[in-house]
Structure 1
């Protein structure tokens, strides 16, 4: 598969791919949400949240012994948040420079997209955490805490304290960067899979670290990923190539 960009040096780079299936942003989102909802239902039916948390809890001696571990709490929790903030700062600097330097002018639209996608994703996850009350594993009596488990759609007793553990806020510091896939698709298509790998890799790393600490269930991270992906796809369809479908590369024969 060969990728190329428009030969014009004055026009914004566009995705030009060979042998790809074209999906509009809304078709891509519809397929993504169908797959995601099927996965979430399977996790709920198989009780994978609890099965995984049970294994992690027992492995740590029936305690969240890694909750304050320097690698997980220091490097991957606090340090991971700082890394995402530094990356965001670099995007802002590049965006500001694109309004000054003619050489960066052709990158301005893509940089605006990346800034808005990452900022919107992290803000949306943080806002939902404040609106939805749900316990962390370490809050639950099942794992040494004091509270019962109340499902996302279950009625919540009025006497229970408010908690903010859903969706996974820290994982959004990584998963928000799945927007790099569309950023590079618009600018340097050969790097688009590397961009997607960075976003998924950081989100997975941060999410696993928090699960090991007892801060989140698996489904909390998956909801965060889906929210970040939804915002990235929707903004890509609006800001990057609104006049043509998004080039979604699918395996040949798919």
Structure 2
């Protein structure tokens, strides 16, 4: 495992965590200011139940990605049993992709279920002229952003395919960032999450994938070295 690959990612995780902790506190002034265009004193969050954001960008996008993951799983199983018309040449890597993705999604889900931070739409308090967000703890179970984790999960492909094909790896990285950010931003517009919720989702996803990459490569290197010395 190359330290030249791992070191920048560890530095990125540490520096970005400090940035989020000190410059973008959860439900802080920046978070609240970014939601102000999507809320008013009479209707609350304007796009909370708007079809495009609620049905398509939230529900339908979730179903679509779950369907894609199911198709990959079926193809991996077909490859194992040599069913050619839906099999994958490098199915071991796609199995690894699924594992990485599911573990990152599961991590975010567990953190969210045990979180004390509330969704913005539970925190809003308004009168005739002003809007306030109060008590960032409230109902809880809203941090990090669960919906964005489905999009960011695709950055797993960067870590899975990096050693074999850097172009494919970068495609997964860019696609995951775009998809996760887009899905997270639509939830911000609905009042479901603050920006900090989604950025922490990206951070946890990236951290899980970095850890899994280090762990798997250490295990593989140890296994290869042991086989080599056993044949001496």
TM-score normalised by the chain length of structure 2: 0.80
Q: State the match for 1:54 in structure 2.
A: 36
For the residues of structure 1 that align with 2:83 and 2:187, how far apart are their CA atoms? 43
Q: Which structure has more RCO (C-alpha within 8 Å, separation ≥ 6)?
A: 1
For the residues of structure 2 that align with 1:78 and 1:176, how far apart are their CA atoms? 17
The Cα shift of 1:38 comes to 2.8
Deviations 1:71-104 (A, max 9, x none): 1011110011112201211221222123123986
User: How do 1:94-243 residues align onto structure 2 when only pairs under 5 Å count?
Assistant: 94-101=75-82, 107-142=90-125, 148-150=134-136, 162-239=139-216, 242-243=220-221
Deviations 1:153-172 (A, max 9, x none): xxxxxxx5x33111100000
For the residues of structure 2 that align with 1:143 and 1:230, how far apart are their CA atoms? 38
The Cα shift of 1:28 comes to 4.1
For the residues of structure 1 that align with 2:133 and 2:42, how far apart are their CA atoms? 20
Worse-matched range after superposition: 97-106 or 47-56: 97-106
Q: Which runs of 5 or more structure 2 residues have no equivalent in the other structure?
A: 223-232
- State whether residues 137 and 214 of structure 1, in contact with CA within 8 Å, keep that contact through their aligned partners in structure 2: yes
Q: State the match for 1:250 in structure 2.
A: none
CA RMSD of aligned residues (A): 3.1
The Cα shift of 1:147 comes to 7.9
Q: Which runs of 5 or more structure 1 residues have no equivalent in the other structure?
A: 1-14, 152-159, 245-254
For the residues of structure 1 that align with 2:42 and 2:56, how far apart are their CA atoms? 23
Q: State the match for 2:230 in structure 1.
A: none
- Change in CA separation of 1:102 and 1:82 when aligned onto 2, cut-off 3 Å: closer
The Cα shift of 1:183 comes to 2.7
Instruction: State how many pairs are aligned.
Output: 214
